[in-house]
Amino acid sequence: LAGGCDILDIKDPTRGSLGMADPEAITRISAAVRQRGRPTMLSVALGELVEWPPDRPIAVIPQRVDFLKLGPAGLSRHWQWLNQWRSTRHRFEQQAGRRLNWVAVAYADWKPARAPAVDAIVDQALEEGLPVVLIDTYTKATGRLLDWLPQDRLAGLAERIHEGGAKLAVAGRLTAGAARAIGACGVDIFAIRSAACEDGLRTGKVTSDCVRRFLSAIRVAATASGRAD
């Protein structure tokens, strides 16, 4: 927060790309953020869809969480992903007693993740009118986002997502050095973990200095691409 982030994402990086933090930690962090003067949106990673079978009790989501994310790893058949994604979202909304804002997650490395293809998820997100599509990497050991998704491909996806009325967020071992190339593709939201941590280790300590450096790189990239937002 001290580094100037606009959206704080709550996750446990030791539990995977979208590892869910303990519910108590989510509640505690949410309360602490809301007590600060500077408005900051909150997103919460809920793990992978396959981690939420019908018999698993649904976690309580704090009232003021802005966005929720579920990963599609292990659900390579399109119909299976749709069925499980919809039913799990419905269970969370039933528990919360309200509509929730969902981020559609696509993995750039969808084949090794055994997830639906990026295009399939983007199509469904736009059809359902979801506000944000996040393109991330499932495995953090075999490359960064642009290793899986070339710039021209990312730019094409950004254009399509914007035409559908949604925003594009990206993650996947992003670096400050790559911010200009990624920003030129029309990305709206940069989601970082390793770049926010000491020594660039995603399981390390998040520091305000690291966040500031990345934010500065984003601003330079935005200026270079003619975008000030």
Q: Residue 26: its pLDDT value, please? A: 95
Taking CA atoms, 189 is separated from 7, 83, 86, 113, 167, in Å, by 9, 28, 24, 23, 8
* Residue 82 tokens, joined: 């749709």
pLDDT tens figures, 117-166: 999 999 999 999 999 999 999 998 888 999 999 999 999 999 999 999 99
* Residue 186 tokens, joined: 């029309």
Q: Minimal CA–CA distance to 102: which of 62, 137, 50, 65?
A: 65
Q: Minimal CA–CA distance to 118: which of 140, 96, 131, 137?
A: 137
Q: Residue 37: its pLDDT value, please? A: 66
Q: Residue 220: its pLDDT value, please? A: 84
| Alpha carbons 144 and 148: distance in angstroms, whole number | 7
pLDDT(229) > 70: no
pLDDT class for 170, splitting at 50, 70, 90?
very high
CB within 8 Å of 37: residues ≥ 6 apart: none
Phi/psi of residue 91, nearest 5 degrees: -65, -40
pLDDT tens figures, 4-46: 888 999 999 999 999 999 999 999 999 988 887 667 899 999 9
Q: Strand 7-10 vs strand 41-48: parallel, antiparallel, or unpaired?
A: parallel
Domains of the chain in start order, with CATH, are 7-225 (3.20.20.70)
Q: Minimal CA–CA distance to 101: which of 29, 18, 167, 179?
A: 167
pLDDT(47) > 90: yes
Q: Which residue has the tokens 């949410």?
A: 30
pTM of this prediction?
0.92
Q: Residue 226: its pLDDT value, please? A: 63
pLDDT tens figures, 187-219: 999 999 889 998 777 878 889 999 999 999 988
**CA distance between the termini of the chain:** 19
Q: How many CB atoms lie within 10 A of CB 144?
A: 18
Q: Residue 49: its pLDDT value, please? A: 96
158 within 8 A of 185, measured Cβ to Cβ: yes
Q: Residue 166: its pLDDT value, please? A: 98
**Exposure letters 177-195 (e unless 16+ CB within 10 A, then b):** ebbbebbbbbbbbbbbbbb
> CA-CA-CA-CA torsion for 38, 208, 6, 215, nearest 10 degrees?
130
* Residue 36 tokens, joined: 């600060």
Compare 199 and 113 and report the one with higher pLDDT: 113
Q: Residue 154: its pLDDT value, please? A: 98
